[in-house]
Amino acid sequence: MKILIVDDEKDVEMLFRQKFRREIRNGSLELVFAFSGADALNILEETDPPKVVYVFSDINMPGMTGLELLEKIKTKFPQINVSMISAYGDSDNYNKALTSGAKGFFTKPIDFESLKKEIQSLMG
Amino acid sequence: MVLENIISIFILRYLQKRLPDAEAYLKWHKILKVGMLLAVTFIILGYSPIGSRVLIHGLSLALVGLIIYGVFKVPEFNQAKTIAYAVLPYLGLSLVSEVIDIISPSFYESIETLLDTAGFFAFLWAVALWYLSRKQKKALELERQKSEEREKEYRLTEKIKAQLEKEVAQRTQDLVKKKEALEKALNELKATQDQLILSEKMASLGELTAGIAHEIQNPLNFVNNFSEVSNELIQELREELKKDHTQRDKENEADLMEDIAQNLEKITYHGKRAEAIVKSMLQHSRKDNGKREPTDINKLADEYLRLSYHGLRAKDKSFNADFKLELDENLPILEVVPQDLGRVLLNLINNAFYAASEKKKLLEDEGEGKDFKPTVVVTTSLEQKGVKITVRDNGNGIPEEVKTKVFQPFFTTKPAGAGTGLGLSMSYDIITKGHGGDLSVISKPGEYSEFIIHLRQD
């Protein structure tokens, strides 16, 4: 299963790769990373249909915000699951994300246990 | 004969008029009166048939002679000398003719015409001398008047001078009082200014807090996450090590070790990042004027651009903007006061974000703005004599009439309460007075504003 993680903090990649070390090693999970909304869209558009099934995106990014990215993904690829990860867990962001079609809303610091559960539920 | 007595009366009268009325001169007044009485008596006697004509003439001559003698001898009467000189020839001639007439009447008769002519000339002499003396007297009088006037003028000038000096002293006193009052007001203003600068610092610190919190939260998350994940990796490594050595995955072990080492590096890195942010926050709030220190301008620009962005982001959830950093990698290290320059950058960048997002709001109100992306671009570049930093936004720009005022204290276009109006004026002071640099603005209304900082390399 291919998952895309969007965050402008580059160290997120290393963190996720280690957190999902086992899953990556046994081939059940493939992680790709984008550091901006525009990057993310490029990755999704690489193949048709996109191989990515789940996108986790930060909200607070320069340029395109996570919420804007969410709207764009939901318009172009409604089948892809999108969840938001934000340092700002206020109700404004939360409501906006959910009404725009986000599957979940995670706050930073990321609780990897619940994140894993979320991914596992999708892997079945 | 009458003439001699008239001369006597004339001289006496002249002396009498000029003799002071004081007690000491009472004797002389009496003598003059007696003299005049005698002269009058002699005139009357001269016309009466009584007495000898020669005797009366002689007495008259004696009287006038005595008077002239007095004029020369008595100091008080010296002023009549001129009259004496005028009449002397005539009196002398009169005496001589009388003596000749007595001694030899026939000889007298033979020279009578000559004597008459001489008498006429003596008379002329008297008149001429009198005329000259009068003229001289008038000139003297004029001179006296002039000198009197000069004296008067001098006294007047002195009076005016004294008055002026008094006024000057009064004015000086007033000015000293005013100066003291102004000094007091100035000191109060300075104190108020210090207070304002401090509150502006505190206000900008307030603006910073949200950004700082976010900026610290991020590295802290990494510190926590990386230590947590490292623990997991160590656990995994232990499990691996417990296995029988034929089953051990050496490659995996090496990977785990490598990851753990990298994580520790990351923990250090993000710990330092948080520390740097705290340090710069402390620097920013420092009350005293900071010292210049070697500063990486690019790092400072990056740091404050992020602080500004996250600060605004944290404060206003709907805020979003694009920002770009175009840094010249060849910048020299400059001696600046980092917290001051940081404050300037924060102010300029905050303003830029504000301007760009205001335009976005304006466009959205008009139902447009879908394609408008608020953008702030911070650039640094090397110049011949220093460094140029620009902060550019694609907001609505600054109208020409406002452009001249933006650096004035208390000038603000923000709604009441939203800005102190001190940000740009303080920034201007920090750049020009604090760093000897230059802060200017260019703008195209409706399109962009760009603030330009020039810093000299000393």
Complex-level ipTM beyond the 0.95 threshold: no
Q: Around Cβ B204, how many Cβ atoms within 10 Å? A: 21
Q: Which of A8-22, A23-37, B288-302, B434-448 has the lowest mean pLDDT?
A: B288-302
Residue B119 has pLDDT above 60, yes or no: yes
The pLDDT of A69-92, averaged and rounded, is 89
Residue B164 domain-assigned? no
Q: What whole-number distance in Å separates Cα of residue B388 and Cα of residue B382?
A: 6
- Residue predicted with more confidence, A88 or B95: B95
For residue A38, give how far its alpha carbon lies from the nearest alpha carbon of chain B (Å): 12
- Amino acid type, B168: V
- The residue out of B140, B156, B172 marking a domain boundary is B156
List CB contacts (< 8 A) between B321 and chain A: 62
Check A93 against B317: CB less than 8 A apart: yes
Q: What whole-number distance in Å separates Cα of residue A16 and Cα of residue A123?
A: 17
Check B224 against A15: CB less than 8 A apart: no
pLDDT of residue A124: 64
pLDDT of residue B163: 95
Q: What is the pLDDT of residues B321-340, one digit of tens each?
A: 888 999 999 999 999 988 88
Residue B299 has pLDDT above 70, yes or no: yes
Q: Give the DSSP letter of residue A60.
A: -
Residue B328 domain-assigned? yes
Q: How far is CA B346 from the centre of its chain?
A: 39
B131-145 exposure pattern, b = at least 16 Cβ within 10 A, e = fewer? eeeeeeeeeeeeeee
* Overall domain count for chain B: 2
pLDDT of residue B170: 95
For residue B396, give how far its alpha carbon lies from the nearest alpha carbon of chain A (Å): 19
Check A110 against B320: CB less than 8 A apart: no
Residue B286 domain-assigned? no
Per CATH, domain A2-123 is 3.40.640.10:
no
pLDDT of residue B217: 83
CATH of the domain at B307: 3.30.565.10
Spatial CB neighbours of B369, under 8 Å, sequence gap ≥ 6: B360, B362, B363
Check B229 against A93: CB less than 8 A apart: no
pLDDT band at residue B64 using 50, 70 and 90 as cut-offs: confident
> Cβ(B301)–Cβ(B345) under 8 Å?
yes
Q: DSSP string of B315-327? A: H-TT---EEEEE-
Spatial CB neighbours of B441, under 8 Å, sequence gap ≥ 6: B398, B403, B406, B449, B450, B451, B452
pLDDT of residue B285: 63
Residue (of A84, A21, A12) closest to A54 by Cα position: A84
Kindly state the tokens that stand for B9. Answer: 């009366």
- The residue out of B113, B133, B156 marking a domain boundary is B156
For residue A113, give how far its alpha carbon lies from the nearest alpha carbon of chain B (Å): 12
> Cβ(B392)–Cβ(B449) under 8 Å?
yes
- Residue predicted with more confidence, B409 or B271: B271
Q: Give the residue from chain A lying closest to B316, CA to CA.
A: A92
Residue B277 domain-assigned? no
Residue B288 has pLDDT above 60, yes or no: no
Identify the burial level of B206 via C-beta atoms within 10 angstroms of its C-beta, where 0-12 means exposed, 13-18 middle and 19 or more buried: exposed
Q: What whole-number distance in Å separates Cα of residue B309 and Cα of residue B314?
A: 9
Q: Which residue is it, tokens 């990351």?
A: B266
Q: Give the residue from chain B lying closest to A92, CA to CA.
A: B317
List CB contacts (< 8 A) between B369 and chain A: none
- Residue predicted with more confidence, A122 or B200: A122
The pLDDT of B12-38, averaged and rounded, is 86
For residue B458, give how far its alpha carbon lies from the nearest alpha carbon of chain A (Å): 36
Range with top average pLDDT, B66-75, B105-114, B150-159, B354-363: B150-159
- For residue B88, give its domain range: 2-156
Q: What whole-number distance in Å separates Cα of residue B401 and Cα of residue B255?
A: 65
Spatial CB neighbours of B218, under 8 Å, sequence gap ≥ 6: A9, A87, A108, B270
Chain A residues with CB within 8 Å of chain B CB: 9, 11, 14-15, 18-19, 21, 25, 60, 62-63, 65, 68, 87-88, 90, 92-93, 108-110, 112
In this complex, which of A63, A68, A87 lies closest to B214 when CB atoms are compared? A87
Check B259 against A15: CB less than 8 A apart: no
By residue count, chain B amounts to: 458
Q: What is the pLDDT of residues B154-175, one digit of tens each?
A: 999 999 999 999 999 999 999 9
Residue B202 domain-assigned? no
The pLDDT of B360-367, averaged and rounded, is 85
For residue B413, give how far its alpha carbon lies from the nearest alpha carbon of chain A (Å): 27
Q: Give the residue from chain B lying closest to A88, CA to CA.
A: B314
